[in-house]
């Protein structure tokens, strides 16, 4: 047996005998950091095609904040200002995302929910620990969903706390899906701790980042994620950022910021 053949056999045996470090459906993949996004880094080099190799469920921002990104059942959706949803091309690039391969490992039964804060409390009670990451899906009937999205931002980019003043708020009602995640408090800066929700209407034509809602009784499907992988941007804009000081902005909810309603 030649040297190359022996090396190939050795690599195959190693792959078969050594257990994988991560389990399918148990890894949360994140591109960039939330502090970088808050500082105004709205351009990323990773494509949606590459992102789909890391997960089939999750959320984020397209480049230039030009769409609230939602990944559901392997399909990417982009909600623009005004709440209209489109399907971006695989070559589209994004500035920030958290995704996983969704596998339900527990459910949380929800009664009638009257606000986003009430939803967060109800789901949190059903989670085994506040020190883990979770992907969460809720299909249900919504009497009210208030969402937001940004108009495309142009360089030089302002910090997220200033861009939030341009967000456009849209209201929906009827059947739809919440795509959400929860990250622990100790992830602050690197990630966005707490709950983060995006909404898609049942026909997948409307949606955005959730600011508030009211929901009929439903079931939350939860995927517990024990591994967190962060890929940092490979570009000079990220290298030049000063991420050592105070964190900018109020996060992506922007609830206390003046908005434009449609």
Q: What is the CATH number of the domain that holds 55?
A: 3.30.1330.80
Which tens digit of pLDDT belongs to each residue from 80-121? Answer: 999 999 999 999 999 999 999 999 999 999 999 999 999 999
User: Per the domain annotation, does 7 fall within a domain?
Assistant: no
User: Per the domain annotation, does 229 fall within a domain?
Assistant: yes
- What is the count of structural domains for the chain? 1
User: Per the domain annotation, does 3 fall within a domain?
Assistant: no
User: Per the domain annotation, does 77 fall within a domain?
Assistant: yes
80 three-class SS: coil
User: Per the domain annotation, does 95 fall within a domain?
Assistant: yes
pLDDT recorded at residue 7 = 46
pLDDT recorded at residue 261 = 55
User: Per the domain annotation, does 14 fall within a domain?
Assistant: no
pLDDT recorded at residue 3 = 56
Going by C-alpha positions, the residue among 180, 185, 150 that lies closest to residue 67 is 150
> How many Å apart are CA 116 and CA 167, to the nearest integer?
18
- Check if the beta carbon of residue 37 is closer than 8 Å to that of residue 69: no
User: Per the domain annotation, does 1 fall within a domain?
Assistant: no
Contacts of 15 (CB under 8 A, 6+ apart): none
- Check if the beta carbon of residue 87 is closer than 8 Å to that of residue 75: yes
> How many Å apart are CA 98 and CA 189, to the nearest integer?
14
pLDDT recorded at residue 25 = 62
User: Per the domain annotation, does 132 fall within a domain?
Assistant: yes
pLDDT recorded at residue 134 = 98
pLDDT recorded at residue 208 = 98
Q: Which domain holds residue 164?
A: 23-252
Beta strand residue intervals within 116-167, DSSP E = 133-149
Query: In Å, how far are 52, 114, 140, 249 from 253, measured between CA atoms?
Result: 26, 18, 22, 10
For the chain, residues with pLDDT lower than 50 are 7-8, 10-23, 247-251, 253-259
């Amino acid at each position: 047996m030649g040297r190359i053949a022996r090396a190939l056999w050795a690599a195959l045996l190693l792959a078969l005998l050594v257990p994988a470090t991560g389990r399918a459906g148990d890894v949360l993949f994140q591109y960039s950091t939330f502090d970088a996004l808050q500082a105004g880094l709205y351009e990323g080099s990773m494509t949606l095609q590459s992102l789909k190799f890391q997960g089939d469920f999750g959320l984020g921002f397209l480049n230039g904040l030009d769409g609230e990104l939602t990944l559901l059942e392997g399909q990417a959706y982009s909600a623009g200002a005004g709440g209209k949803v489109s399907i971006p091309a695989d070559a589209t690039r994004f500035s920030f995302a958290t995704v996983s391969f969704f596998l339900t490992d527990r459910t949380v039964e929800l009664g009638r929910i009257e606000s986003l804060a009430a939803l967060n409390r109800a789901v949190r009670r059903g989670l085994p620990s506040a020190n883990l990451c979770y992907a969460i899906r809720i299909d249900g009937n919504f009497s009210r969903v208030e969402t937001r999205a940004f108009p495309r931002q142009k360089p030089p980019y302002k910090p997220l706390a200033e861009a939030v003043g341009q967000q456009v708020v849209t209201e929906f009602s009827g059947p739809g899906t919440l795509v959400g995640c929860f990250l622990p408090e100790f992830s602050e800066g690197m990630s966005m701790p707490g709950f983060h929700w995006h909404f898609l209407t049942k026909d997948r034509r409307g949606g955005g980042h959730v600011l508030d809602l009211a929901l009929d009784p439903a079931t939350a499907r939860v995927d517990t994620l024990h591994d967190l992988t962060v890929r940092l941007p490979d570009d000079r804009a990220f290298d030049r950022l000063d991420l050592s000081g105070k964190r900018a902005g109020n996060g992506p909810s922007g609830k206390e910021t003046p908005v434009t309603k449609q």
